């Protein structure tokens, strides 16, 4: 759905505080203060803190689902090109939505059966279904190997990007990249991750050297 400017301000404030304090630690009053709105407005727009978290998930994940669906229907590019586009999208999404992925990591580590855990499960399930279809289409055409562990493959993608972002200050220091501006380093990190993952997935998926 399309959100108004005021709703997006609330969603952005909620994302920031959920990432910083966790879902339980961020109160509706804190979110209202961060967004510079009154508490009643959050209730009016979203109904509850749980529904607000759902809105955060919807806003941050809708584009990637649409992108995968469009890729599945695009017959003008190869299956490996589709995977490469998907890798670029995941890298971009993680780099530009670092607070959202802090929420994902934090909530998954809690290991509780909560509404947030349910949202994460459904998100991962839907993404896996779409990506499985993409890989199976490549296998049916002979472009990809058989017997690919798609869950492990996606774990490799997400885990590599998450680890790079989490340890980016260490990576920057050991590679003597402190001279870069933050924007320059983010671009460098995106390019490095993209090239590395595309090479890795080419080895995983195809018989090409």
Count CB atoms within 10 A of the CB of residue 17. 21
Domain-by-domain residue ranges, the chain? Answer: 61-205
Residue 40: band (very low, low, confident or very high) from pLDDT cuts 50, 70, 90: very high
92 closest CA partner among 143, 57, 5, 100: 100
d(CA 40, CA 167): 39
Q: Is the pLDDT of residue 67 over 60?
A: yes
pLDDT, mean over the chain: 88
Please, what CATH class does the domain formed by 61-205 belong to? mainly alpha
Angle at 153 between CA 206 and CA 139, to 5 degrees: 40
Q: Which two tokens stand for residue 11?
A: 């969603």
Average pLDDT over residues 54-70: 79
Q: What is the predicted pLDDT for the residue at 72?
A: 82
Tens digits of residue pLDDT in 114-158: 667 777 788 788 888 888 999 999 999 999 999 999 999 999 998
Residue 3: band (very low, low, confident or very high) from pLDDT cuts 50, 70, 90: confident
d(CA 176, CA 83): 31
Q: Is 125 left (phi over 0), alpha (psi -120 to 50) or beta?
A: alpha
Q: What is the predicted pLDDT for the residue at 209?
A: 53
DSSP designation for 44:
H
Q: Give the whole-number percent of the chain exceeding pLDDT 90.
A: 55
Average pLDDT over residues 149-171: 91
Q: Which two tokens stand for residue 160?
A: 């590599």
Task: Say if CB 33 and CB 11 are below 8 A apart.
Answer: no
Flag whether the pTM goes above 0.85: no
d(CA 45, CA 48): 9
d(CA 139, CA 147): 9
Q: What is the predicted pLDDT for the residue at 57?
A: 84
Q: Which two tokens stand for residue 119?
A: 């949202």
d(CA 63, CA 61): 6
């Amino acid at each position: 759905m399309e959100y108004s400017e005021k709703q997006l301000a609330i969603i952005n404030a909620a994302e920031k505080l959920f990432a910083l304090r966790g879902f339980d630690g961020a109160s509706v009053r804190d979110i209202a203060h961060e967004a510079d709105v009154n508490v009643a407005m959050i209730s009016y727009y979203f109904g509850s803190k749980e529904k607000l978290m759902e809105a955060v998930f919807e806003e941050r994940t809708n584009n990637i689902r649409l992108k995968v669906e469009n890729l599945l229907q695009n017959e003008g590019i190869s299956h490996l090109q589709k995977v490469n586009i998907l890798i670029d999208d995941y890298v971009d999404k993680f780099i530009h939505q670092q607070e959202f992925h802090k929420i994902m990591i934090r909530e998954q580590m809690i290991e509780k059966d909560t509404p947030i855990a349910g949202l994460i499960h459904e998100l991962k399930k839907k993404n896996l279904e779409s990506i499985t279809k993409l890989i199976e289409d490549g296998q049916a055409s002979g472009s990809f190997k058989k017997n690919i562990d798609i869950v492990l493959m996606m774990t490799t993608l997400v885990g590599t990007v998450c680890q790079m972002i989490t340890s980016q200050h260490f990576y920057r220091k050991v590679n003597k990249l402190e001279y870069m501006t933050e924007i320059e380093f983010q671009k460098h990190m995106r390019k490095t991750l993209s090239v590395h993952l595309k090479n890795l997935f080419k080895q995983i998926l195809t018989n090409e050297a």
